[in-house]
Amino acid sequence: MEELKKIGDELLQEITEQLLKIRLDKPDPEHWSQASVPYLQQCLERLYQAMIRYPFAKRTEEIHFFKHIKPAVMAQLIFMCEVHNKEIYRPNSSIDKATRYLVNELVKIDGFFTRNNVLYDYYKEKLDGSDIIFFVRNVKDRFNFRDLPIEVDPVYYYGPKDFSTGLDFMFAKFRAYEMLRDHLEIELEALQITDVPPDELKFTGSPADFVQLVEIFGVKVRPVDPDTGEPMTEQKLFEFLKQAFNPSLPNGLDFNTLKLISGNSDLIEQMSEALKRKYKQWEDEERDIDYRKDEDVPGDGD
C-alpha cells in the first residue's frame, strides 16, 4: 500500500501543477476545462494501472484508496466536465441573462446537496462507520447495512468492476460540486463588478463583400422596419447590418455610393467553398471505419 499511496500522492501533486499550467495557458473556462479532460482521463487510467500493479493487502488499504485517492482524481474530471457543460449553455448576450443563469445553476447545486444530505453529511463530517460497505468492492449485501437500506449508485455497474465501489463516485461528485459551486460564485462576482459588454461581431471582409452581404440579406431575409412596418429599404438594411457586424468602411457613405466604389466581390463563392469544406468534413466524420485493418477480412480480395 505504501507504494500505491506514494503513487497516488505524487499523481495528485502533478495534477495540481498541470491544471494550473493549463489555466495559465488557456484563461477562458471553456478552454481550460476542455483541455483538462483528456489529461485527467489519462491520470485516472494511470491510477487504475497502479492499483492493478500493487494489490491491496488489507481492507483498510482498499478503503483508503477508494475513499480518498480515487475520488480526488475523479472529482477533478467531473468538475472539468461540468464547467464545460455550464459554459456552453451560458448566455453571453447580456450580463443580466448571464447572472440569472449562474444563480439558477447555483440553486441546482444546492438542490443536489439537499437531496443527498445524509451521504453529504457523512462526507463533510469525515465519518467512517459505513466505510466497510461504501468503499469496499466485494460486499455481501450492497443494498443494506446492519438492517438499514443504503443508496446504490448506478455508476458502480459501469466500467471495470475492480475500480469502483458502491459510493466512491458519489463522494467524488460531492468534491467536484463543491469546486463547481466555488467556481460559479467567482464567475457571478466577476459579472457584478464589471460592466464589460459581450464580445461584438466583427465583419472582416472587404467593403465589396459587405455590399454583397447586404444584398443577400435583402433577397433572403429582409427584416421589417419597426418605424414603418414594411420591409427595410436597402439603405435602412445597410445601416442595420453595419451596427450588427461592425465592418471597416469609409465614413459618411450611403449604400448606393458604397456599391459604386467598392468593386466586385467573391463572397458568395467564398461561402460556397466554405460550405463544401464543412460538408466534406462532416462526411469524413460520419463515414464507416473498418477496424480490421491488419486482419484478413472474409470476402476481401478473394
**What's the burial of 212, exposed, middle or buried (CB within 10 Å: 0-12/13-18/19+)?**
buried
Cell 414594411 belongs to which residue? 230
Q: What is the pLDDT of residue 194?
A: 58
Domain shared by 179 and 213, yes or no: no
Q: Which residue has the higher pLDDT, 243 or 146?
A: 243
**DSSP labels for 237-296?**
HHHHHHHHH-----TT--HHHHHHHH----HHHHHHHHHHHHHHHHHHHHS---S-TTSP
Q: What is the mean pLDDT of residues 60-71?
A: 95
pTM for this predicted structure:
0.71
Of 81, 75, 70, the residue nearest 165 (C-alpha): 70
CA distances from 50 to 1, 43, 122, 137, 194 (A): 11, 11, 28, 17, 46
Domain shared by 141 and 220, yes or no: no
Query: Residue 97: is its pLDDT beyond 80?
Result: yes
Cell 506514494 belongs to which residue? 6
Query: Residue 199: is its pLDDT beyond 60?
Result: no
**109 and 86 Cβ atoms separated by less than 8 Å:** no
> Among the ranges 150-164, 167-181, 183-197, which has the highest mean pLDDT value?
167-181
**What's the burial of 115, exposed, middle or buried (CB within 10 Å: 0-12/13-18/19+)?**
exposed
Is residue 56 included in any domain, yes or no?
yes
Domain shared by 244 and 119, yes or no: no
Is residue 293 included in any domain, yes or no?
no
Distance, in Å, from the CA atom of 160 to the CA atom of 168, rounded to the nearest integer, reads: 13
Domain shared by 119 and 25, yes or no: yes
Is residue 199 included in any domain, yes or no?
no
Domain shared by 157 and 254, yes or no: no
Read off the pLDDT band of 37 (50, 70, 90).
Answer: very high
Distance, in Å, from the CA atom of 190 to the CA atom of 175, rounded to the nearest integer, reads: 23
Query: Residue 208: is its pLDDT beyond 90?
Result: no
Domain that holds residue 238: 207-286
C-alpha triplet 180, 182, 188: angle, nearest 5°: 100
Could you tell me how many helices (H) and strands (E) the chain has, helices first? 12, 2
Domain shared by 137 and 92, yes or no: yes
Distance, in Å, from the CA atom of 142 to the CA atom of 28, rounded to the nearest integer, reads: 42
Number of domains present in the structure of the chain? 2
Domain shared by 162 and 34, yes or no: yes
Domain shared by 244 and 145, yes or no: no
